[in-house]
Structure formats: structure tokens, C-alpha cells
Structure 1
Amino acid sequence: MAFRMSEQAYLVLLALAEEPRHGYGIVQAVTAMSDDRVRLGAGTLYGILDRLVEAGYTEASGEVVVDGRLRRYYRLNPDGMAALAAETARLTDLASLARRVLAARPSSRPALGSA
């Protein structure tokens, strides 16, 4: 089954492209990158990480015990970097298409559904 790239998964990959991070570090990075628009709960985050590991895009890169709690670090691997680059290109193309369509729309034409 092909990996489905959600906005949340894309942001997790983007956070890991900067540096290896543990779960809470990923949550903080995603929140900051999205200007507080995307907030990941633990269940959502670890579900995404499990799918990213299964897809071969990320891997555990070590564990550290801090204050008696285990922190598992994840890193982006070359396949993950390629997937991130491909998704970024796809989103860029989609945004370019949207700009062209919106720019070509006459401002005097009523919007769909208007009377």
C-alpha cells in the first residue's frame, strides 16, 4: 500500500529534515512551522511516525533517558528526503495552478452559487 501524505505527515517530515528529534521536539517543531495551526497529539504523532518508519522514510536514531523517561529520536533517511522533495514539488505545482486559475478569473463574473 502506498503511503498517503497528509499535511501532518508532511510537516513531521519537514521537522525531521532540520535535525533528528524526539516526539515532543517534533510536536514543538510542527506547531511552530504551522504557526500554531497544526497541533499533534501523542496518538496522532506516533501513528504518523509508525507509518513513516513502515514506508521507509524515517528511522529511530537512538534513545536517551531524561528524568527517568525514555526519549526515542527519529531521523529522516534518504528515501524520506526524496519523498519530502517530491511532495514539495507537487504542492508547488498545485499552488502555481491555483494562482493561474485565480488570476484568469474575471473579477466581474459572479461566483458560483451567487444570484
Structure 2
Amino acid sequence: MSAETQPKDLLPLSEPVFHILLSLADEERHGYGIMREVRDRTEGSIVLAPGTLYGAIKRLRALGLIAEAAARVDPELDDERRKYYRITGLGERVAAAEAARVAALARQAVLKRLLPGWGGA
């Protein structure tokens, strides 16, 4: 990604990519941990298949949105083959820009009375 690229230049994010960034926003995770966190957080409505997950991880790393973590929390308690990933500063800015984009869409849906009970309209 070039130095001039802005977070908004990468929007909109695909749903799997946004969920991966959300799962890494609060802690480093390995691939299976990302899949599990997304499944649990969405109450099973989003299930990332391994091919989807690892293809997205490869693209996110190439874009500089995530990186492989330098060290594990406790290597004694984990399989040494697992790679842990962390969100980068750029990844946080892109995820925040996507969240703002989605929130603006939701506000429009509220104004159009498509989201009853969300207030504000």
C-alpha cells in the first residue's frame, strides 16, 4: 500500500474482513481463535471457513492492516505452530472508518424507518 493511501480508499470492507479486524481489535489471536471469536460474537450467524479466513489474512497482511504477532502470551500453553495475528495502527484506522461508514448507513435506515425501535428518528 502506498504512503498516500487513506483508510477510506480501502472501503467498503467485505463482511469477513471487517469481522477479522473486529476480532483483533482487542487482542492478538491465532486463526482458530479468530474463527471462534467471530462465531461467538455473532451468535453463530457468521462462520468463517478456513479458506475464507486464511485468504483474508494473507490479503490483510499484504495491505499492512494486520501483522504476525512477535510473541505469544504464554508459549508453554500453546502449540508452537500457531501463528498469532495483531491489528496494526492502519488496520485500526481502516476498521474505524468502516464502522463509521456502516453507522452512517444505519442512521439513514433509521431515518427511512427501516429500523424501528432504534430511536433518533
The TM tier, using the shorter chain, reads: 0.7 to 0.9
CA distance in 1 between partners of 2:13 and 2:87 (Å) = 15
Deviations 1:56-93 (A, max 9, x none): 100011475845x6100000010000001000000000
Instruction: Tell me by how many angstroms 1:49 deviates.
Output: 0.5
CA distance in 2 between partners of 1:70 and 1:5 (Å) = 29
Equivalent residue number for residue 50 of structure 2: 42
CA distance in 1 between partners of 2:41 and 2:26 (Å) = 11
Equivalent residue number for residue 83 of structure 2: 72
2:24 to 16, 20, 26: 16
TM-score normalised by L of structure 2: 0.76
Secondary structure of the residue aligned to 1:102 is coil
Deviations 1:3-31 (A, max 9, x none): 45111110100000010000010000110
Q: Which AA in structure 2 matches 1:96?
A: R
Rg larger for: 1
1:93 to 104, 107, 115: 104
Q: Which AA in structure 2 matches 1:81?
A: E
8 A contact 1:59–1:77 mirrored in 2: yes
- Give the CA RMSD over aligned residues: 2.0
Dislocated runs of 4+, deviation >3 Å:
1-4, 62-67
2:34 to 10, 26, 45: 26
Equivalent residue number for residue 6 of structure 2: none
Instruction: Tell me by how many angstroms 1:102 deviates.
Output: 2.0
Give the unaligned 5+ runs of structure 1: 104-115
Secondary structure of the residue aligned to 1:18 is coil
Q: Which has the higher strand share?
A: 1
